[in-house]
Amino acid sequence: MDRQGFVRRGYTAGDVIHRAVSVLEDADRSIGRPHAPTRIRAWHDLLRDSLFTPAGRAAFLRRVPVSPPRRRHA
């Protein structure tokens, strides 16, 4: 990849979830686009509704019916 002029950029789940603006900034720099941090809002909207956040998990649990535990018969 190096010989072809490509740069590999690796990110962890923590980077993508907690430092997404930095990931976006790297992507913008890589393709020569001006960095506009406000473009991350769409990602934050998706993240907020996902199971990766307390709000997303709470919303999920409100949508999913919870049945009481089954009792085992002896």
| Residue 72 lies inside a defined structural domain of this protein | no
Domain annotation covers residue 71: no
Q: Is the residue at 22 inside a domain?
A: yes
Rounded to the nearest 10 degrees, how much is the dihedral formed by the CA atoms of 53, 36, 25, 4? Answer: 130
Domain enclosing residue 31, as ranges: 2-63
Residue 11 lies in a domain: yes
Q: Mean pLDDT by 10-residue block, N- to C-terminus, for the chain (74 residues)? A: 81 94 93 94 93 93 84 74
- Give how far Cα 48 sits from Cα of 9, 39, 58, 62, 71, Å: 25, 15, 11, 15, 36
pLDDT of residue 24: 95
Provide the whole-model pTM.
0.68
φ, ψ for residue 17, nearest 5 deg: -85, -40
Q: CA nearest 51: which of 60, 42, 41?
A: 60
Residue 69 in any domain: the answer is no
